[in-house]
Amino acid sequence: MLPMPSRTLVASTGRALLPCRWFPIQRLSGISRSAVRLFSTRGGVVYSYIGRRPLSVPTGVEVTHDPKPFTQEDPRFQRTSTFRVKGPLGEEHFPLQNFVTVTECPLTDDDKAMNRRRMTVAVQDPMNKQQRAMWGTTRTIIQNLINGVSEGFTVPLRLVGVGYRATIEQSKANSSRDVLSLKVGYSHAINMEVPKGISATTPNPTRIVLKGSNWEQLRLFAANIRAKRKPEPYNQKGIFVGDETIKKKAGKKK
């Protein structure tokens, strides 16, 4: 029998059972053919499926790349540049690593018909683990910034519980800022100042709608509101973000 190429036998558990040059599958007892997968040891250039997807930039959005560091005070951002996105709903900026490059693609007929531009994100060495990990992450963050300044994001919250309600009041310390007042089962109301760049509304006393251009900041504020009364599984009461659900648990039976 001629030797087979260098391969490794891997069972359905994902653990290597017989690393060798070749093996007869017929002689393996207790392992079915459906549970055996072959993986070649030959490697190649691994690309990021998300990172290599082009960015879609609609009309009215300006994208600029400043070679200056994101901030001079924090030493973590000394080897970064500043990526700025400006649109109808505001302006956002993001620290870009020095090994990441963003280039604009030539316009195609589809781009002209859809009134958009396209840009690509690339890294210097795709075989480097850190650069490959930041490739797709950077592309997703930039696309979220573009979508935020052009369309914006919305995060709804639901208050479930007897007497739970939320209201929007004006801040006494700063008249230009709003305060979210929550009554969620405590002896006192919980007041949370709405961060800059986020607008909060209450269509009804048990529903909160947050809007903003920064996806990260918006979800962080929603998480802080949820933390004031986390959903509990026994009575299914609390503050729910979006279409969040929680599995009901049975209480102790006497």
Per-residue pLDDT of the chain (254 residues; tens, 9 = 90+): 445 444 444 444 444 444 444 444 454 455 555 455 544 444 556 678 888 889 999 888 999 988 888 876 777 777 888 999 999 999 999 999 889 999 988 888 888 888 888 899 999 988 888 898 899 999 999 999 999 999 999 999 999 999 999 999 988 777 778 999 999 999 999 999 999 999 999 999 999 999 999 999 999 999 999 999 999 999 999 999 999 999 989 887 76
From the CB of residue 252, how many other CB atoms can be counted at a distance below 10 Å? 5
What is the pLDDT, as a whole number, of residue 252? 77
CA atoms of 142 and 167, how far apart (whole Å):
34
CA-to-CA distance for 119 and 103, rounded, in angstroms? 6
Amino acid at 165: R
Q: How many degrees, rounded to 5, is the angle at CA 161 between CA 156 and CA 163?
A: 105
Nearest of 135, 126, 132 to residue 96 by alpha carbon: 135
CA distances from 219 to 21, 89, 142, 253 (A): 51, 17, 16, 38
Domains and CATH numbers, the chain: 7-40 (no CATH), 55-150 (3.90.930.12), 154-241 (3.90.930.12)
Q: What pTM did the predictor assign?
A: 0.74
Return the pLDDT at 21.
Answer: 43
Q: What's the chain look like in SS3?
A: CCCCCCEEEECCCCCEEEEECCCCHHHCCCCCHHHCEEEECCCCCCCCCCCCCCEEEECCCEEEEECCCCCCCCHHHCCEEEEEEEECCEEEEEEEECCEEEEECCCCHHHHHHCEEEEEEEECCCCCHHHHHHHHHHHHHHHHHHHHHHCCEEEEEEEECCCCEEEEEECCCCCCCEEEEEECCCCCCEEEECCCCEEEEEEECCEEEEEECCHHHHHHHHHHHHHCCCCCCCCCCEEEECCCCCCCCCCCCC
pLDDT of residue 240: 97
Residue bearing tokens 């079915």: 32
pLDDT score of 229: 95
Residues contacting residue 60 through CB under 8 Å, at least 6 positions apart: 87, 88, 150
Confidence (pLDDT) at 19: 45
